[in-house]
A and B are shown apart, each in its own frame.
Chain A
Amino acid sequence: MERLKQLAISEEGFIFDPVTGNSFTTNGTGLFILEALKEGREEKEIVDLLTEEYGIDKESASRDLMDFMEQLRSYRLI
């Protein structure tokens, strides 16, 4: 998660990557996940946090987390 620590992330969900100069936007849920990843939490732990925070079932939380992580990977942010 070294790459994640380099990112400048604003409260509004604007993400700037100082290595590539690329910028991205995300919503509140994305921000929530990014924060958890930066804190070094495991994926299983993040699923629990999402379930608690958004009142959704574990299956949906896990699917959404996987989707989001895949997007981060495609942008080479993790």
Chain B
Amino acid sequence: MERLCIGVSGINAVDNPGPGVGVIRSLKEDKDLKIEAIGLAYDAMEPGIYMDWLVDKAFVLPYPSSSEEEYIGRLIYLKDKVGLDMIIPTLDAEMPLYIKAAPLLESQGIKTFLPTKEQFDLRGKTKLPQVAKKIGLKMPKTKTIASYQDLMKAIEEIGLPVMVKGVFYKAYRAYTYQEAVGYFRQIVAEWGYPVVVQQVVTGEEMNVIGVGDGLGNDLGLVAIKKLWITSLGKIWTGVTVKNDVLLKAAKKFVQKFNWKGAFELECIVSADDVYLIEINPRFPAWVYFATGVGVNLPATMVKTAFGLPLKSPRDYPAGKLYVRYTYDIVTDMSVFQNIITKGER
């Protein structure tokens, strides 16, 4: 098996962890693949840079919001320098740029495995109700608003408490009119209009991770329930579940939309009702949980991208526990120095 050089972003294994380290760990654990992992970082302090037992080389990239030309230029430099064969972007803010640049990167010999622009747009909160309906899930009552008057009307209709959300990012729970107005202004200032006001639904928080092949087939699905979350809402302990409604919805999602690439469906299960809360068009930070129960999605994605043989889809058992923990590394200052001065390790 030829060695594949794979660039992975999101190696910020911090309190709000990126998925990168879990993706790399999954790739390295696949017995059929020989992977050289290139960590793509945005800050010299991203812990993945220092995890040399997983991340073979690390490079700092310019922010995707800076200049597209500069960003792509840096990736092409990496192609020349280390022979980058594929990139797995894992951060929300990177996705539009990578989706747009996918053909250009492909022409340079750098593969990606990403949703199309149309598929990516499905995750917008204004489109979610249509997606939920098509895949047999419910949606909390949702109003898209663009003014203070709309906000008041939406709260009257939905009733407090409500979630006040940006179309793509940020979500706050407001218990009073005053709080809702505060969050509304905050979101408008940061992300602009429209803003989404949504009913608060209570129940079990369950998520599904999967990869679609772009032709309507899924390359593996794993459903989990969050048992313990951090103050930032990030999973710290979880358990695998076999919830038929949830798994069937994920299958339908891949089939109906010919979804290509990784995804996560965030849902709330309340008795027999399953509500769709969010679609993430990338691997979640707990991606290694699926690998640990026998469904190695990053490896399957890489194999599919390169046309390598796949093993038959693996099932997983319910009742497997996931526990995160913290770890400490003590290393030499020279690594930090290299990253700061040269942008690479």
Residues of A within 8 A of B (CB): 8, 16, 18-23, 76
Contacts and interface: CB of A to CB of B under 8 A. Distances in A.
Interface residues of B, number: 15
B243 A8 contact: no
A20 B206 CA distance: 9
A21 B271 contact: no
A16 B319 contact: yes
B interface SS class = strand
26 contacts: A8-B319, A16-B318, A16-B319, A18-B241, A18-B242, A18-B318, A18-B319, A19-B241, A19-B242, A19-B243, A20-B204, A20-B225, A20-B241, A20-B243, A20-B269, A21-B204, A21-B206, A21-B224, A21-B225, A21-B227, A21-B239, A21-B240, A21-B241, A22-B204, A23-B239, A76-B271
A12 to B, nearest CB: 15
Nearest to A18: B318
Nearest to B246: A19
B245 to A, nearest CB: 9
A20 B242 CA distance: 8
A76 B243 CA distance: 14
Contacts of A19: 241-244
Contacts of B319: 8, 16, 18
Contacts of A20: 204, 225, 241, 243, 269
A21 B243 CA distance: 9
A48 B225 CA distance: 39
Nearest to B242: A18
Given A19-B242, A21-B225, 16 more contacts: A8-B318, A8-B319, A16-B239, A16-B318, A18-B242, A18-B319, A20-B225, A20-B241, A21-B206, A21-B227, A21-B239, A21-B240, A21-B241, A21-B318, A23-B239, A76-B271
Interface string B204-231: 1010000000000000000011010000
Contacts of A8: 318-319
A19 B241 CA distance: 6
A23 B319 CA distance: 9
Contacts of B239: 16, 21, 23
7 interchain residue pairs of minimum CB distance: A21-B225, A18-B318, A21-B241, A21-B239, A18-B242, A16-B319, A19-B243
Contacts of A18: 241-242, 318-319
Nearest to A23: B239
Nearest to A17: B241
A62 B204 CA distance: 33
Nearest to B224: A21
Contacts of A16: 239, 318-319
Most chain A C-beta atoms within 10 Å of own C-beta, residue among B240, B271, B318: B318
A20 B204 CA distance: 7
Nearest to B269: A20
Nearest to A8: B319
A10 B261 CA distance: 39
A27 to B, nearest CB: 21
Q: Tell me which of A8, A20, A22 has the highest count of chain B C-beta atoms within 10 A of its own C-beta.
A: A20
Nearest to A76: B271
